[in-house]
């Protein structure tokens, strides 16, 4: 892509404004308060989410017991500890370590910060688009967090990909898909009924562009994680929760 085809990067002030607005929108969308009391035990949360996601409960417990222990032994106990090992371990391994915490938080119904929500959404977008295109990303539950993807691209300084993602969003009413899974599916059905092949060509076009130049790039994710490392809080496997 030629340099003059990319939009100008927003000023630091613009980026800060976008971040503040997106953080607020994520919170307004239902992000739980970090200090809210637990509605149920950790064990019950894991059991319920295993049932919801079709995962094997004993396997999940053993998997995270082992993986979190491995992260602690390899990297240490804090996010700065983990990031300090990047030169030696490589970014991919560092990202996997951070995602281990985030995934365990999801299973245990532990609230996620805005940046913690970006990371699994990035992984899901890549998997969904590789499997069935951008239409599939919005059709499935992971599309609830599309705003996290826009925030990641914006904060990570990938203005060109953010612009492409917004162009893909433009087919939805006011360029904003519903963050409710069922409502967004209904919107997609209505779009197909009204637009027919035009809708499919829209998503196929943006999927083809994505395959030529996929996003989010590893460096984009890396920038955001380093910049917002204080917003990533590790949690560890507690044997007492499963006694």
Supply the pLDDT for residue 236. 95
Burial of 107 from C-beta contacts in 10 A (0-12 / 13-18 / 19+): buried
Residue 197 lies in a domain: yes
Nearest to 124 by CA among 3, 106, 109: 106
Q: What is the mean pLDDT of residues 5-33?
A: 41
Residue 54: phi, psi to the nearest 5? 70, 35
**Number of domains forming the structure of the chain:** 1
The pLDDT-based confidence of 38 (bands split at 50, 70, 90) is confident
Residue 15 lies in a domain: no
What pLDDT digit, counting tens, does each position of 57-100 carry?
999 999 999 999 999 999 999 999 999 999 999 999 999 999 99
Residue 132 lies in a domain: yes
Residue 177 lies in a domain: yes
Residue 1 lies in a domain: no
pTM for the predicted model, two decimal places: 0.82
* 26, 110, 112, 234 from 33: Cα distances, Å: 12, 10, 9, 17
C-alpha span between 12 and 155 (Å, rounded): 10
Range of the structural domain that residue 215 is part of: 41-242
What pLDDT digit, counting tens, does each position of 203-227 carry?
999 999 999 999 999 999 999 999 9
Supply the pLDDT for residue 11. 38
Residue 52 lies in a domain: yes
C-alpha span between 164 and 166 (Å, rounded): 5
User: Does 6 or 204 have the greater pLDDT score?
Assistant: 204
Residue 33 lies in a domain: no
The Cβ of residue 60 has, within 10 Å, a number of other Cβ atoms equal to: 18
Residue 8 lies in a domain: no
């Amino acid at each position: 892509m030629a340099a003059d085809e990319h939009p100008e990067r927003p000023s630091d002030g613009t980026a800060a404004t976008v971040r503040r607005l997106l953080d607020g929108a994520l919170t307004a969308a239902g992000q739980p308060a970090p200090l809210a009391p637990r509605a149920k035990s950790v064990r019950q949360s894991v059991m319920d989410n295993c049932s919801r996601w079709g995962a094997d409960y004993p396997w999940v417990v053993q998997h995270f017991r082992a993986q979190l222990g491995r992260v602690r032994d390899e990297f240490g106990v804090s996010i700065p500890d983990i990031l300090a090992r990047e030169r030696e371990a490589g970014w991919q391994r560092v990202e996997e370590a951070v995602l281990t915490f985030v995934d365990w938080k999801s299973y245990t119904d532990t609230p996620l910060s805005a940046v913690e929500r970006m990371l699994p959404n990035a992984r899901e977008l890549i998997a969904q688009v590789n499997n069935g295109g951008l239409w599939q990303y919005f059709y499935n539950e992971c599309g609830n967090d599309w705003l996290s993807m826009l925030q990641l691209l914006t904060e990570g300084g990938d203005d060109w990909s953010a612009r492409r993602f917004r162009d893909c969003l433009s087919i939805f009413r006011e360029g904003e898909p519903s963050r409710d899974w069922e409502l967004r599916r209904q919107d997609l059905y209505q779009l197909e009924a009204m637009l027919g092949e035009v809708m499919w060509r829209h998503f196929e076009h943006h999927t083809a562009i994505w395959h030529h130049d996929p996003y989010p790039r590893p460096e984009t994710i890396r920038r955001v994680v380093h910049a917002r490392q204080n917003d990533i809080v590790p949690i560890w496997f507690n044997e007492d929760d499963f006694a």
